[in-house]
C-alpha cells in the first residue's frame, strides 16, 4: 500500500460513490497504478499539481504519496467530497479540494508555480481542457507539464506525425509548443467499470517558446481549414483563408496539390507567417528563439 488510508473499494462502499456514466466515471482503484501515473509526471516535490476529476481519490493519493508539494483537486461530483476530505486530513496542508466544474473554475488563484497538471479526466472534458491549455495567447503557459489520460485513439492523435491518419489539428497544437509522448497504455480492465476502449497516458512538457514562429491565431485558422476538408488539395481547402493562397503555399515549400496530412508543422508555420505578410524569417512574430525538433 502507498498509504495507510482504506483501500479504494472500501472508500467507494463507505461513501456510496457508485460510478455514474453521465459524469464519465471510470475509476482507477489500483494504487500502484495511480502511483505509476504520478511518477510519469516527473518530480513533483517542488511543484503544485492541478488534478481535475479526482473522484474517490486514487490518483490524488498517488500524487501525494509521490511527494507533490500541494495538490489542487477540482471535482464536480459532490458525493466524492467526504472521501477527498479524508485524504486531506491524512496529508495536512497539502490537498485543497474545489467542488465544481473544471470548465468553469479558474484554478490559478490557488496554485503557485511551477505547476504540473495530472488528471484522469472524462474523455469529452479532457479534449476540451487540453485544447484550452495548449492555446493561451501567451507562451509559456501556466503549466510546466500535462500528464493526462485519454482514450488511446485521442492519445495517438496528439503524438501523430505527418503522413499518418491520426495527424491533424490536435497534433499541430500539441507539438508546436510542447513535447508530447505516450508514457503508459492501459487496457479497459484497469478501470472500474471498464470503458469500451483502451486508454493511454500522454505527457506533454511545455517548450519555453514555440518550435517555429507563427501567430497562434493564423496557424489555428490554417490548420482548421486544411484538416476540416482533409481529403481536398490545400489549394482548394485553403482558398477562403487568404488571397493568393497558391503563391503562399509554393513560397512555404508546400505543393498546392498536397493534402493537409502531408504537411509538416514547420511548413504550416511558414505558411502562417507568409499569410501574415511575414517574409518567412519569423521576425514579424515575437522574435522568439527558434527551437528545432520533430515536426
- Rule CB under 6 A: is residue 206 a binding residue for ligand SAM? no
What DSSP state is assigned to residue 203? E
Among 3, 30, 77, 246, binds ligand SAM (CB under 6 A): 77
In angstroms, the CA 211 to CA 178 distance is 8
Binding segment (CB under 6 A) for ligand SAM, from list 120-128, 174-182, 222-230, 253-261: 120-128
- Of all residues in the chain, what percent are helix, strand and coil, respectively (each to 5)? 40, 15, 45
CB of 265 to ligand SAM, least distance (A): 30
CB of 22 to ligand SAM, least distance (A): 9
Which of 144/199 has CB closer to ligand SAM?
A: 199
Judged by CB under 6 A, the chain residues 123 through 162 that form the site for ligand SAM are 125
CB of 41 to ligand SAM, least distance (A): 13
Alpha helix (H) ranges present in 178-244? 216-228, 234-237
In angstroms, the CA 290 to CA 100 distance is 39
Nine cell digits for residue 122: 472524462
The CA-CA-CA angle for residues 19, 20, 22, to 5°, reads: 150
Which of 38/225 has CB closer to ligand SAM?
A: 38
- Rule CB under 6 A: is residue 26 a binding residue for ligand SAM? yes
- Rule CB under 6 A: is residue 122 a binding residue for ligand SAM? yes
Spatial contact of 238 and 185, defined as CB atoms under 8 Å apart: no
CB of 146 to ligand SAM, least distance (A): 15
- Rule CB under 6 A: is residue 176 a binding residue for ligand SAM? no
- Rule CB under 6 A: is residue 107 a binding residue for ligand SAM? no
* Torsion sign, CA atoms 110, 116, 120, 121: positive
CB of 190 to ligand SAM, least distance (A): 10
- Rule CB under 6 A: is residue 101 a binding residue for ligand SAM? yes
Among 48, 66, 75, 266, binds ligand SAM (CB under 6 A): 75
- Cβ of 41: how many Cβ atoms within 10 Å? 24
Spatial contact of 264 and 295, defined as CB atoms under 8 Å apart: yes
Spatial contact of 72 and 94, defined as CB atoms under 8 Å apart: no
Number of helices (H), then strands (E), in the chain: 11, 9
- Rule CB under 6 A: is residue 71 a binding residue for ligand SAM? no
In angstroms, the CA 217 to CA 273 distance is 11
Nine cell digits for residue 7: 483501500
Spatial contact of 178 and 170, defined as CB atoms under 8 Å apart: no
Spatial contact of 147 and 51, defined as CB atoms under 8 Å apart: no
Which of 192/262 has CB closer to ligand SAM?
A: 192
- Rule CB under 6 A: is residue 118 a binding residue for ligand SAM? no
Which of 124/292 has CB closer to ligand SAM?
A: 124
- One symbol per residue from 34 to 63: x for binding ligand SAM (CB under 6 A), - otherwise; what is it? ------------------xxxx--xx----
In angstroms, the CA 290 to CA 295 distance is 13
Which of 18/236 has CB closer to ligand SAM?
A: 18
- Rule CB under 6 A: is residue 65 a binding residue for ligand SAM? no
Residues in touch with ligand SAM (CB under 6 A)? 23-28, 52-55, 58-59, 74-77, 80, 101-103, 120-122, 125
Amino acid at each position: 500500500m502507498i498509504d495507510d488510508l482504506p483501500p479504494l473499494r472500501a472508500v467507494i462502499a463507505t461513501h456510496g460513490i457508485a460510478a455514474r456514466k453521465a459524469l464519465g466515471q471510470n475509476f482507477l482503484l489500483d494504487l500502484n497504478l495511480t502511483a505509476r501515473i504520478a511518477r510519469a509526471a516527473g518530480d513533483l516535490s517542488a511543484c503544485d499539481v492541478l488534478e481535475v476529476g479526482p473522484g474517490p481519490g486514487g490518483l490524488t493519493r498517488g500524487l501525494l504519496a509521490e511527494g507533490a508539494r500541494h495538490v489542487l483537486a477540482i471535482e464536480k461530483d459532490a458525493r466524492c467530497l467526504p472521501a477527498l476530505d479524508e485524504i486531506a486530513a491524512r496529508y495536512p496542508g497539502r490537498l485543497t479540494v474545489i467542488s465544481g466544474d473544471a470548465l468553469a473554475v479558474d484554478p490559478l488563484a490557488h496554485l503557485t508555480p511551477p505547476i504540473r497538471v495530472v488528471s484522469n479526466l472524462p474523455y469529452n472534458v479532457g479534449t476540451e481542457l487540453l485544447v484550452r491549455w495548449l492555446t493561451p495567447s501567451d507562451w509559456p503557459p501556466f503549466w510546466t507539464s500535462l500528464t493526462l489520460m485519454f482514450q488511446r485513439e485521442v492519445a495517438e492523435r496528439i503524438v501523430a506525425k505527418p503522413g499518418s491518419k491520426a495527424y491533424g489539428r490536435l497534433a499541430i497544437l500539441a507539438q508546436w509548443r510542447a513535447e508530447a509522448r505516450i508514457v503508459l497504455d492501459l487496457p479497459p480492465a484497469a478501470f472500474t467499470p471498464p470503458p469500451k476502449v483502451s486508454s493511454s497516458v500522454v505527457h506533454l512538457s511545455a517548450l519555453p517558446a514555440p518550435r517555429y514562429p507563427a501567430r497562434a491565431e493564423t496557424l489555428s485558422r490554417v490548420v482548421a481549414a486544411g484538416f476540416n476538408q482533409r481529403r481536398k488539395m490545400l489549394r482548394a481547402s485553403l482558398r477562403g483563408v487568404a488571397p493568393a493562397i497558391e503563391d503562399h503555399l509554393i513560397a512555404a515549400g508546400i505543393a498546392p496539390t498536397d493534402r493537409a496530412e502531408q504537411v509538416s508543422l514547420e511548413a504550416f508555420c511558414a505558411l502562417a507567417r507568409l499569410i501574415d505578410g511575414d517574409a518567412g524569417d519569423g521576425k514579424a512574430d515575437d522574435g522568439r528563439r527558434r527551437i528545432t525538433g520533430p515536426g
